């Protein structure tokens, strides 16, 4: 059954198949290659003892994400919809769980990620330009809010403008990571030993774990955090020109590219800083560039990191409102959130609402003075809870709709989906343990969504 069109919209005011593989691939790469590789590599190194273990951890993260990509590729090819995994969860587990997921994306996952990356943008930019005389102690929060407003205006111009921007930003981010590889190559060509980051002294030399204190489980939590976000490319499945293989190719090519970039970046970190220097570094990308090329290159890499945050935020602002639109469309077609702007190719009201929630979370992060760390605590458990359910949706929908056409099927079924579910469940458990009390706020917001849904259902039944 085709989705209902809100009253007053012209015929055809629904997602149109106008996008190709490069657009969705750019979104997949842009959603993953964000602050993760610049923030979590030192944390991974702290729990591993050798460079080989570090490379294995990042390669394993890529393989397991690739398995997840295969699961989402089957779902997206078989059940294309602007809601992405909202649509899969709704078909597998019912409307209530689907709407709860849509709420979590709107109020926790996507908007929390935008706020988190806004703080990354503000923190890095504040290192280069001192704006505190004008913006006060909440410089990062003001910069984060300003960036969210600017990206919202850009995406309201239309889907082609938003995705065109994504292609350009993703290209710059890839260029920055390749430049890290060049720095390591120069270091190796000159025959120089890895350097301990300036000012770290002996602490940098012993920053990595000893063989007796290696913790693969803790290390993999941070690896998986860095790989998170690729599933959002599935929200474009109903807009792909090739409805059979387009989203499949985008997910798999995107994840393959991300894994290669992550391995290159970590090799560069180790080659330039050493494993101990990486483990003790707060900004390994910028420090690597300074060690090899000097202060100017360090500033340039800070620019790349800020562009990376901008890129992912732009990708979220493309994907997130589509889930909100799809949920509102299914809940009540007369809702403003269910309006699709045919001229711009965007769910305009949903874009504005997403931006507003992200700004509220920026204010929350500033009020707690936690910024980035507050947002990590806020969104991680909820994100991995629904990723686990999305993996289970492959198994459930195979049983509920065995005759439904599936242009792509997960190989080695059901082994690979079960592997993905098991890994996601582990990271869910680990994230609850890691963030401890911080998880309570995100879970409470999720519970608030369940109460709103229950109240709305009672209101509809009594009307």
Q: Which of 248, 236, 394 is nearest to 323 (CA)?
A: 236
pLDDT band for 209, please (50, 70, 90 cuts). low
The predicted pLDDT at position 174 comes to: 80
The answer to whether residues 151 and 317 touch, using CB atoms and an 8 Å cutoff, is yes
3-state secondary structure of 341: strand
Tokens found for residue 187: 């270091």
Q: Which of 359, 203, 189, 227 is nearest to 277 (CA)?
A: 203
The predicted pLDDT at position 204 comes to: 42
d(Cα 302, Cα 286) in Å, to the nearest integer?
6
Give the angle 120-122-127 at the CA atoms, nearest 5°.
100
Single pTM value for the model: 0.76
Q: Check pLDDT > 80 for residue 12.
A: no
Higher pLDDT, 242 or 170: 242
Beta bridge partners of 341: 346
Q: Which of 105, 150, 90, 169 is nearest to 330 (CA)?
A: 90
Secondary-structure percent of the chain, ordered helix, strand, coil, rounded to 5: 80, 0, 20
The answer to whether residues 326 and 87 touch, using CB atoms and an 8 Å cutoff, is yes
The answer to whether residues 72 and 231 touch, using CB atoms and an 8 Å cutoff, is yes
H/E element holding 344?
none
Q: Check pLDDT > 60 for residue 393.
A: yes
Q: How does 123-151 read in b/e, with b if 16+ C-beta sit within 10 Å?
A: bbbbeeeeeeeebeebbbbbbbbebbeeb
Q: Which span out of 67-81, 147-161, 242-256 was modeled with the highest average pLDDT? A: 67-81
CA end-to-end span of the chain: 26
Q: Which of 144, 84, 89, 103 is nearest to 442 (CA)?
A: 103
User: ω into residue 372 within 30 of 0, thus cis?
Assistant: no
The answer to whether residues 254 and 31 touch, using CB atoms and an 8 Å cutoff, is no
Give the angle 13-320-71 at the CA atoms, nearest 5°.
100
pLDDT band for 93, please (50, 70, 90 cuts). very high
Higher pLDDT, 270 or 335: 270
Backbone angles phi, psi at 436, to 5 degrees: 45, -115
Q: How many CA atoms lie within 13 A of 172 on its CB side?
A: 20
Q: Check pLDDT > 80 for residue 160.
A: no
d(Cα 342, Cα 70) in Å, to the nearest integer?
31
Higher pLDDT, 274 or 222: 274
pLDDT band for 403, please (50, 70, 90 cuts). very high
The answer to whether residues 238 and 80 touch, using CB atoms and an 8 Å cutoff, is yes
- CA dist 151 → 144, 161, 450 (Å): 11, 11, 30
| Residue pLDDT, tens place only, 356-377 | 999 998 988 888 766 777 787 7
Q: Check pLDDT > 60 for residue 5.
A: no
What's the count of helices (H) and strands (E) in the chain, helices before strands? 19, 0
Q: How many CA atoms lie within 13 A of 264 on its CB side?
A: 18
Question: Going by C-beta distance under 8 Å and a sequence separation of 6 or more, which residues neighbour residue 146?
Answer: none
What percentage of the chain exceeds 90 in pLDDT? 13
Q: Which span out of 257-261, 278-282, 391-395 was modeled with the highest average pLDDT? A: 391-395
Q: Which span out of 152-156, 172-176, 238-242, 357-361 was modeled with the highest average pLDDT? A: 357-361
Higher pLDDT, 17 or 351: 351
Tokens found for residue 420: 């993905």
What percentage of the chain exceeds 70 in pLDDT? 78
- CA dist 18 → 21, 23, 72, 345 (Å): 10, 10, 21, 9
Beta bridge partners of 5: none
d(Cα 428, Cα 98) in Å, to the nearest integer?
19
The answer to whether residues 179 and 289 touch, using CB atoms and an 8 Å cutoff, is yes
Instruction: With both helix axes pointing from N to C terminus, report the angle between 295-331 and 95-104 in degrees, rounded to the nearest 10.
Output: 150
Beta bridge partners of 346: 341
Alpha helices in 105-245 (DSSP H): 110-128, 132-135, 139-156, 159-189, 201-205, 216-227
pLDDT band for 1, please (50, 70, 90 cuts). very low
């Amino acid at each position: 059954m085709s989705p209902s069109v809100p009253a007053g919209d012209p015929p055809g005011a629904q997602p149109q198949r106008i996008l190709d593989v490069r657009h969705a691939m750019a979104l997949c790469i842009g959603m993953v290659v964000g602050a993760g590789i610049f923030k979590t590599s030192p944390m991974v190194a702290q729990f591993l003892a050798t460079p080989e273990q570090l490379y294995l951890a990042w390669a394993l993260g890529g393989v397991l994400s690739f398995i997840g990509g295969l699961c989402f590729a089957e779902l997206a090819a078989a059940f294309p919809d602007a809601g992405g995994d909202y649509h899969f969860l709704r078909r597998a587990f019912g409307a209530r769980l689907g709407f709860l997921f849509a709420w979590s994306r709107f109020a926790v996952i996507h908007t929390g990620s935008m706020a988190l990356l806004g703080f990354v943008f503000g923190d890095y930019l504040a290192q280069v330009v001192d704006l505190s005389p004008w913006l006060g102690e909440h410089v990062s929060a003001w910069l984060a809010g300003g960036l969210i407003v600017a990206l919202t205006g850009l995406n309201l111009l239309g889907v082609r403008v938003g995705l065109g921007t994504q292609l350009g930003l993703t290209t710059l981010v890839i260029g920055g990571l390749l430049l890290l590889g060049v720095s390591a190559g120069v270091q190796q060509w000159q025959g120089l030993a890895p350097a301990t980051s300036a000012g770290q002294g002996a602490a940098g030399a012993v920053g990595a774990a000893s063989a007796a204190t290696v913790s693969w489980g803790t290390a993999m939590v941070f690896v998986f955090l860095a790989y998170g976000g690729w599933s959002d490319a599935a929200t474009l499945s109903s807009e792909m020109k090739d409805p059979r293989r387009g989203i499949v190719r985008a997910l798999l090519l995107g994840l393959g590219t991300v894994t290669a970039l992550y391995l290159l970046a970590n090799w560069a970190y180790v080659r330039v800083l050493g494993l101990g220097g990486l483990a003790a570094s707060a900004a390994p990308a910028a420090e690597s560039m300074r060690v090899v090329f000097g202060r100017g290159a360090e500033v340039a890499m800070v620019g790349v990191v800020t562009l990376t945050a901008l890129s992912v935020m732009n990708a979220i602002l493309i994907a997130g409102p589509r889930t909100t639109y799809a949920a509102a469309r299914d809940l009540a077609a007369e809702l403003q959130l269910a309006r699709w702007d045919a001229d711009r190719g965007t769910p305009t009201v949903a874009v504005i609402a997403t931006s507003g929630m992200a700004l509220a979370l920026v204010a929350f992060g500033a009020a707690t003075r936690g910024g980035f760390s507050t947002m990590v605590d806020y969104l991680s458990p909820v994100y991995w809870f629904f990723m686990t359910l999305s993996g289970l949706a492959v198994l459930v929908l195979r049983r509920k709709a065995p005759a439904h056409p599936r242009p792509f099927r997960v190989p080695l079924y059901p082994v690979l989906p079960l592997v993905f579910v098991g890994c996601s469940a582990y990271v869910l458990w680990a994230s609850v343990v890691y963030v401890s009390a911080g998880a309570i706020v995100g879970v409470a917001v999720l519970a608030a969504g369940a109460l709103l849904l229950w109240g709305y259902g009672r209101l509809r039944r009594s009307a």
